[in-house]
Amino acid sequence: MSETAAGSDLCLARRSEAEPGRRLRWGEVRAALAADRDHWRRRGCGPAAFRRGYHAIWLYRLSRYAHERGWRMAAWLLWLVNGWWTGADIPPSSRIAGGLFLPQPYGTVIAGAVGRDAAFGIQASIGGLLKEPDQDIGGGPGLPVLGDDVMLEAGAIVLGAVHVGDRARIGPRTITLKSVEADEEIMPQPWRPLPGRNVAP
C-alpha cells in the first residue's frame, strides 16, 4: 500500500471489514464513505450527496458506528430513520466495507457481510432463512458473506450462510441458496412457453 492519503484511506476502508467485532473508528467510517462516493463517481451517477441511495449508506454507516460503540438506542433510531427515509433495511449488525453502490434503495435488505465495491441493483437483497441460526461464517447467524466487487442485479437475492466469491455477478431476479465461486456469473431460471397457448389474439 502506498503512503499517499488516498492509499491510507483505502487501507482504512478495507480494514473496517477485515476484523469482525472490532470497535469502529470514526476515521474508518469517513474512509468508507469516501470510498462509497468514489464508487458512485466511477459509475457515472453524478454527485452522490443528494441521492437517496447514498443517504441509505450514510445512515447505515452512522448506525453501524453507534452499534459498534455500544449506543444501541441510537443505532436503532438511525436504522428506523433509514427505513423511513430511503426504504432500505440495512441493520447495523451487518458489516459492509467501503464502496457500496446502491442507486435505488427502496425495498433493499442487506443483512450479512459485504466486501469492498459491491453494487446492488434495485430490490437486490441478501439475508438469511431463519432456519440455521447457529451457522455463522462471518456475516452473522445464518447470513451470507459477499466478497469484493460483487454485483447483484435487479431483484437478485442471496439467502443463507453462503459465500459469494470476489467479482461474482448475480443476474436479475436470481435467488441463490448456495455458494457462488469467484468470477462466476449466475443467471435466473429459463422460461418456456406454456404449450397450446401460442396463438396471437
Residues engaged in binding other proteins (CB under 8 A): 45, 51, 87, 103-104, 106-107, 121-123, 131, 153-155, 171-174, 187-194, 197-201
**Residue among 21 and 201 whose Cβ is closer to other proteins:** 201
Distance of closest approach, residue 18 Cβ to other proteins, in angstroms:
31
**Residue among 6 and 187 whose Cβ is closer to other proteins:** 187
**Residue among 99 and 121 whose Cβ is closer to other proteins:** 121
**Residue among 123 and 176 whose Cβ is closer to other proteins:** 123
Write the CA distances from 27 to 32, 66, 157, integer angstroms: 9, 14, 31
Helical packing angle, 52-69 and 72-86, nearest 10°: 170
Q: Where does residue 152 rank: exposed (0-12), middle (13-18), buried (19+ CB within 10 A)?
A: buried
* CA 35/CA 13 separation, integer angstroms: 7
Contact status, residue 176 vs residue 155, Cβ threshold 8 Å: no
Distance of closest approach, residue 42 Cβ to other proteins, in angstroms:
14
* CA 56/CA 173 separation, integer angstroms: 22
Distance of closest approach, residue 77 Cβ to other proteins, in angstroms:
21
Distance of closest approach, residue 113 Cβ to other proteins, in angstroms:
24
φ, ψ at 161 (rounded to 5°) = -80, 80
Distance of closest approach, residue 114 Cβ to other proteins, in angstroms:
19
**Residue among 146 and 151 whose Cβ is closer to other proteins:** 151
